[in-house]
Amino acid sequence: MNKHPDDILTLMVEKLSGYINPEDDVWLENLIATNAEAREKWVAVQQSFTKEDINDGNLKLDNIQWADTNTITRRNIHVSRRRFSIAAAWIAAVLLIGAAAFLITGRNSDKGLRHTIAMNPLLGKSIRLRLANGQVISLSNANDTTYSVGGMQLTGNNKVLSYTGSSPITGLNVLTVPIGMDYNIHLSDGSVVYLNSATVLSFPMKFTGNTREITINGEAYLEVAKDATHPFIVNLPHGSVQVLGTEFNVNSYDSGVVKVALVQGSVNMQMDNHTLHLTPGKEGVYKNNNLVVKPFDEQTTLGWRQGIYYFDNATLRQIVEVLPRWFGMQVQMDNEAKASEHFTGRVYRNQPITDFLDNLKSTTTVDYFIRDSVVHFR
């Protein structure tokens, strides 16, 4: 399994933060053990910031003077249409923000690496909108709040962002929903995007040109406004989805895996060299350079919109991948023999994690304890 250096750095961030999935963890451990350069970078990552940086949600982000991302884009992203989705996905995957800090410092790679690692807002405690001009707005206030940006009025209310007026800001804005939260946004064309936890959306304030393009990394449900003359394109890791007007769910949480589940309308799913036309009730799954179609269960796939995650005969290892995203707690497997235990049930985002853990304990042989905000399975 070959990975881009940027992907390896992302995995190192996830490993240090405790949110790496088991498959990637094994792969990264092997790479560090067998590759001297990777081992050197891993040591640099570990030394670059402390555990407190993770635990405080990287609140230092709010004190940094960010560069204008239009300038960053002009410096670095002279790319073709084929590479646009890769560059945009990289922005949505957060490390463009780290690159911005690197450009600000003007220092060598070690200093840039320190900023890159510390700049992961997915580990933060607030929903952030980073405008293309570098301004950062916190959207975690549940009350009706209005922000004036040039000629635009941005309104955040009850986990929904909408905006009106004309914007002097051009370029991509980045909306980050951290672990344990969810948020919605109404785009300028009337489309609505429902963002799950640990998800990043990059979008323009106003769509221009012949297409309407956004980028998503994580999970989201989209209600796309119909416009036959301007196709709506969702850029994802490894490819994109093109629609005219429809409702569908995208999921790119797992490294190297992209899922698109169609509820209404039709979409064309393009992953690397594969193209698939989806009809309602079908899900396209890209994995290991293969693109397949299968039926999906709406309750299971879309349950996150009601704050419910359904486990259907899931292994403890699969459960371990979900809990950190929903509750922002690290999970440690103290007894690997329990990893293959199966469980069927559900977890509620708005209920204490101990409610789920007690249910898991009562129906399996798995036991748990919590120490220093880390869930240990044994």
Q: Report the chain (378 residues): mean pLDDT per 10 consecutive residues.
A: 63 68 72 77 67 48 40 37 40 36 32 37 73 85 77 87 80 89 94 94 92 94 94 93 92 91 94 91 94 94 94 92 87 90 92 94 93 90
The residue type at 26? V
Of the three residues 246, 266, 300, the one that is the final residue of a domain is 300
Total tally of structural domains belonging to the chain: 2
One domain for residues 237 and 348: no
Residues forming beta bridges with residue 222, ordered by sequence position: 193, 248
CATH number of the structural domain spanning residue 229: 2.60.120.1440
**What's the DSSP call for residue 367?**
-
Q: What is the reported pTM?
A: 0.71
pLDDT of res. 49:
53
Q: Are residues 245 and 211 in the same domain?
A: yes
Q: Residue 295: inside a domain, yes or no?
A: yes
Is residue 285 domain-resident? yes
pLDDT at res. 189:
94
What single DSSP character describes residue 134? S
Same domain? 296 vs 317:
no
290 and 329 fall within a common domain: no
Distance CA 68, CA 87 (A): 17
Rounded distance between C-alpha atoms, residue 225 and residue 316, angstroms? 39
Residue 82 is predicted with a pLDDT of: 39
Closest by Cα among 329, 317, 352 to 22:
317
Q: Is residue 318 part of a domain?
A: yes
Among the candidates 270, 300, 330, a domain finishes at 300
Q: Is the dihedral of CA 184, 243, 90, 255 positive or negative?
A: positive
One domain for residues 186 and 254 = yes
Pairing mode, strands 342-348 and 239-243: unpaired
One domain for residues 325 and 350: yes
Q: What is the CATH number of the domain that holds 366?
A: 3.55.50.30
In a domain, 61, yes or no: no
What domain range includes position 270?
122-300
Closest CA to 357 of 346, 365, 368, 349: 368
Residues 180 and 262 in one domain: yes
pLDDT (0 to 100) of residue 61: 41
Domain co-membership, 254 together with 130: yes
Helix (H, G, I), strand (E, B) or coil at 18: coil
If asked whether residues 313 and 293 sit together in one domain, one would say: no
Q: Please indicate, yes or no, whether residues 151 and 211 belong to a single structural domain of this protein.
A: yes
What is the rounded CA–CA span in Å between residue 253 and residue 270? 18
Residue 57 forms part of a structural domain = no
Q: DSSP secondary-structure letter at 328? A: -
Instruction: Tell me the β-bridge partners of 378.
Output: none
Give phi and psi for 213, each to the nearest 5: -120, 135
Residues 260 and 365 in one domain: no
CA distance 295 to 252: 18
Helices (H), 108-185: 109-118
Domain boundary among 265, 280, 300: 300
Q: Are 249 and 301 in contact (CB under 8 A)?
A: yes
18 within some domain: no
Whole-angstrom Cα distance, residue 313 to residue 178?
A: 28
d(CA 297, CA 284): 13
Task: Tell me if 34 is assigned to some domain.
Answer: no
Whether 137 is covered by a domain: the verdict is yes
- Indicate if 351 and 235 belong to the same structural domain: no
